[in-house]
Amino acid sequence: MGCDSSILPRDRVRDAATFEIVGVVGDLAGPLHLRNGPKAYIGLYTCAVYRSIHLEIGKGIIKVVKGNPNCKLNLVPADIVANAHVLAAWSVGTKRCASPLVINCTATENLHVNFCECTRNIVQMANEFPLPRSFDQHTNLITVPYKYLYCIIAAYYHYLPAIVLDGMLRILGKKPRIYSLYRFLDSVMKSLNYFSFYTFEFERNNLEYLDKVIHPEDRKDLTLDFRDATFLGMALSFPEGSPFYDWKVDKKSEWERQRIKHKRHMLISCIQGMFLVICFSVAFRKSVELRSCFAVNDDQKEYTTRLKVARGRVKASLTRLENTADLKLKNEILIRLQSLEDLSKEIEKLDAELSVEDSEIVEFDDRYFSLKLKLQNKIDALNVSHSTTVENQNSSVVVQSNSNFRLPKLNIPVFSGKFENWMNFQDLFVSTVHSQISLSNSQKIQYLKGLLSDKPASLIKYIPLSNDSYEEAWEKLIDRYDKKKQIVHSLIKTFLKPI
Which pLDDT value is given to residue 276? Answer: 92
DSSP tally for the chain: helices H, then strands E: 20, 6
Q: What angle do CA 148, 149, 153 make, to 5 degrees?
A: 120
Identify the pLDDT of residue 270.
92
Q: Which one, of 141, 158, 175, lies nearest residue 53 by Cα? A: 141
* 265-290 per-position pLDDT tens digit: 888 889 999 999 999 999 999 888 88
Q: Which distant-in-sequence residues (6+ apart) come within 8 Å of 481 by Cβ?
A: 417, 419, 422, 426, 456
State the pLDDT at residue 155: 92
What's the pTM value of the predicted model, to 2 decimals? Answer: 0.49
Most confident option among 278-282, 415-419, 421-425: 278-282
Low-confidence winner among 12-26, 90-104, 318-332, 419-433 (lowest mean pLDDT): 12-26
Q: Based on the number of CB atoms within 10 Å of its own CB, is 446 exposed (0-12), middle (13-18) or buried (19 or more)?
A: buried
| pLDDT number for residue 281 | 92
Q: Which of 220-229, 232-241, 426-435 has the lowest mean pLDDT?
A: 232-241
Q: For residue 226, is pLDDT > 90? A: no
pLDDT band at 319 (very low <50, low <70, confident <90, very high): confident
Q: What are the angstrom distances between the C-alpha of 187 and each of 45, 147, 447? A: 26, 14, 85
Residue 24: the pLDDT is 46
When comparing pLDDT for 156 and 214, which is higher? 156
Give the residue with greater pLDDT, 249 vs 273. Answer: 273
**Among 25-29, 112-116, 436-440, the least confident range:** 25-29
Q: Is 77 exposed, middle or buried (0-12, 13-18, 19+ CB in 10 A)?
A: middle
Nearest to 238 by CA among 58, 83, 62: 58
Asked whether the beta carbons of 372 and 337 are under 8 A apart, the reply is yes
Q: Could you tell me the pLDDT band of residue 390, with boundaries at 50, 70 and 90?
A: very low
Residue 152 confidence (pLDDT): 92
Enumerate residues 6+ apart whose C-beta is below 8 A from 88: 29, 42, 44, 97, 101, 103, 210
Judged against a pLDDT cut of 60, whether residue 205 lies above it is answered with yes
> Nearest-CA neighbor of 144 among 82, 193, 214?
193
For residue 348, what pLDDT is reported? 81
Q: pLDDT digit string (tens) for 72-89?
A: 877 777 777 778 877 877
pLDDT digits 0-9 by tens, 348-371 = 888 777 776 777 777 777 787 788
Q: Cite the beta strand spans of 24-179 per DSSP E.
A: 24-33, 39-47, 64-66, 101-105, 142-144
Crossing angle between the packed helical segments 254-323 and 330-352, to the nearest 10 degrees = 170
57-61, 65-69, 125-129, 208-212: the lowest-pLDDT one? 57-61
pLDDT for 140-155, tens place per residue?
Answer: 778 888 889 999 999 9
pLDDT exceeds cutoff 60 at 19? no
| Positive or negative: CA dihedral 318, 324, 325, 328 | negative
The pLDDT assigned to 28 comes to 53
Task: Using DSSP, state whether 464 is helix, strand or coil.
Answer: coil
- The Cα-based distances of 305 to 353, 354, 355, 358, 359 in angstroms read 12, 10, 12, 10, 13
Instruction: Write the DSSP assignment of 253-296 as a string of letters.
Output: -HHHHHHHHHHHHHHHHHHHHHHHHHHHHHHHHHHHHHHHHHHH
Mark 165-193 as b/e (b = at least 16 C-beta within 10 Å): bbeeeeeeeeebebbebbeebbeebeebe
- How far is the CA of 103 from the CAs of 13, 26, 89, 99, 330, in angstroms? 20, 10, 11, 11, 121
- Whole-angstrom Cα distance, residue 200 to residue 49? 12
Please provide the average confidence, as pLDDT, over all residues in the chain. Answer: 75
How does residue 320 score in pLDDT terms, banded at 50, 70 and 90?
confident
Task: Report pLDDT for 403.
Answer: 40
Distance (Å, whole) CA 448 – CA 428:
12
Residue 399's pLDDT band (boundaries 50, 70, 90)? very low
Q: Name beta bridge partners: 142.
A: 64
Long-range CB pairs of 379-386, under 8 A, 24+ apart, other chains included: 379/330, 379/333, 379/334, 379/337, 382/328, 382/330, 382/333, 383/330
| Cα angle, residue 23 at apex, residues 17 and 29 outer, rounded to 5° | 95
Share of the chain above pLDDT 70, in %: 76
Q: Give domain limits for the chain.
A: 27-248, 276-383, 419-496
What is the Cα–Cα distance from 63 to 272, expressed in whole angstroms?
13
Is the alpha carbon torsion for 9, 13, 17, 23 positive or negative?
Answer: positive
pLDDT in tens, 175-194: 888 898 889 888 888 887 88
Q: What is the arithmetic mean of pLDDT over 311-336?
A: 78
Average pLDDT on 309-336 reads 79
Gap between the terminal Cα atoms of the chain: 104
Q: What integer pLDDT is reported at residue 279 of this predicted model?
A: 92
